[in-house]
Amino acid sequence: MAIRAIQEQWPESVCVVYCRNTHAERAQVLAKVKVQFNLTIREDALKFVPLKHYTWLEAKRYPFLTLLLQSLGSMVVAVEALESLVPDVFVDTIGFAFTYPLACWLYSCKVVAYVHYPTISSDMLRKVSSKEADFNHSAVVARSPFLTRLKKWYYVAFAMAYGFVGRRADVVMVNSTWTQNHINQIWGAPQPASVVFPPCDTLSLRTFPLDHRQRLIVSVAQFRPEKAHTLQLQAFSALLNAHPKFRDGSEMCKLVLIGGSRNEDDRRRAQELRDLAVTLRTQGNVEIVENASYPELQVYLAKASIGLHTMRDEHFGIGIVEYMAAGLIAVAHNSGGPKLDIVVDAPESRTGFLASTAEEYSAAFATILELSDDAQRVIRERARASVVTKFSDATFARRLVENLATVMHPTFQ
C-alpha cells in the first residue's frame, strides 16, 4: 500500500525494496500480492535488491542477547543494501533503528521510520522488574533476582542506545497511539511521532451483510507465540463447559483459527493447537486453517458472528478493524492498540468487548451469543461506522504521503 501510494503521488519515482536473496521473480511476488492482498502495483516503477546477508536479521540466529545482536546484525545488512543502491529516502518499515545512523551519516539519505512495534518498550522493562514470565521473558530469569537485575541493566542500556539511533530519523511515523506513546518516551525526538494507522480494506469488507450470521467465532492471526492461541482454545473450552448447548445441536458454536504459517515452527505450533483441542475435548467444534487465501478469509468474515483477538499489548490490531468492518463483533485483549484506538467497551456506545482472562473471554462470547438479532445488529452497525472512515486504505495513503512530502526531493514535488 505504501508503494502504491508513492507511485500514485509521485509517478516519476522508483521504489526499491531490499529483500531476501531468493529466486522469486518480481512478477511472481506481485502476483502473490494481488492474490493475498487484492493489491495491484505498477511493475515498471518497482525494483528489488536481493541481499545475501539477510539471515543476519533473523532472531533465531541469536539465542542470547537477541535485541543487541540482531540490531548489530541489521547494520551489516544495511551496509550491504546501501552499497548496492543508495536511495534519496531510506524507509524502514520492519523496525531496525540501528541502521538509521549509517543511512544518514555515511550515505546522506533522508531517513523515514514507520514503527509497528518498538524494539524495546517500558512494558518490557516493567515485566522484568516485576519478575513476570512471558514469551520474551523466560521463567528461569523471572525466578532469579540476579538474572532479573542483569537483564534489567541490559534493557536500560539498550533502551538508551535505541533512543539515540531512533533520533537520527527525519520522519517518524507509528501505527497506533500505543506505539506513539512508547516511541515518544524512548526516542525523545524533537518532533513527536505521527500516528499513521495501517491500511485496512474497510471499503470492500463493509459490503458484507450484517444479518443471518452463523454461530462462528473466527480468529485471524499468524501462528506466533505472542498471539496467544492457547488462551483462545481455553476460553472457548470454558464457554462450552459453562453452556453445553453450544457444543452441538441447533445452537452449536464453532471456533475457527485462521493463521499464516511462515516456517516449521509455526506449523508445529498449529499442530500443537490441534492436539490441545483434543485434550480440551473441543476438537469437534474447532477448525484450524493455515495460510488461507484472501478470498477464503473473506468467506469466513462474511458469515462469522464474533472476531477473536488475544495478543497482549498488541501494537495496533488490523485484524480487529477488519472484523468490525466486515460486521463481526470483536472480542479483543484489554490492552495496547485495541484498547486505545479501536474497541469501545461501554454499554451505551459499545463497538466490541475487551477481555484479559479465559473466563472474561468466555463470558463475552456467551453475552454476544445470547443477544437478540436486533441487539447484535446495533453493535455491528456501530462498530462498522466507527472504523470505515478512521481506518482505510485511502486514509493510510493520504497520511503517508503527507509525511513523506517533507523529505521528498524537489524533483518530485
Mind listing the pLDDT tens digit for each residue in 335-348? 999 999 999 999 99
Mind listing the pLDDT tens digit for each residue in 16-26? 999 987 767 88
Q: What percentage of the chain reaches a pLDDT higher than 90?
A: 74
Q: Is the pLDDT confidence value at 244 over 90?
A: yes
DSSP labels, 278-344: HHTT-GGGEEEEES--HHHHHHHHHH-SEEE---TT-S--HHHHHHHHHTPEEEEESSHHIIIII--
Assign residue 401 a region (left: φ > 0; alpha: ψ between -120 and 50; beta: otherwise). alpha
What domains are defined for the chain?
A: 2-199+393-412 (3.40.50), 202-387 (3.40.50.2000)
Using CA atoms, how far apart are residues 100 and 121, in angstroms rounded to an integer? 19
Q: Is the pLDDT confidence value at 284 over 90?
A: yes
Using CA atoms, how far apart are residues 306 and 300, in angstroms rounded to an integer? 11
Show the cell assigned to 245: 448447548
Dihedral of CA atoms 169, 171, 173, 178 in degrees, nearest 10, equals 60
Show the cell assigned to 305: 458472528
> Are the beta carbons of 354 and 334 closer than 8 angstroms?
yes
Angle, to 10 degrees, between the axis of helix 122-129 and the axis of helix 177-187? 80
Q: What is the rounded average pLDDT of the residues 271-300?
A: 94
Using CA atoms, how far apart are residues 316 and 399, in angstroms rounded to an integer? 16
Of the candidates 132, 182, 181, 178, which has an alpha carbon nearest to the alpha carbon of residue 152?
A: 132
Q: What is the pLDDT of residue 138?
A: 53
SS3 content of the chain, % helix, strand, coil (to 5): 55, 15, 30
Q: What is the pLDDT of residue 124?
A: 74
Q: Which residues contact 378 (CB under 8 A, 6 or more apart)?
A: none
pTM here? 0.82
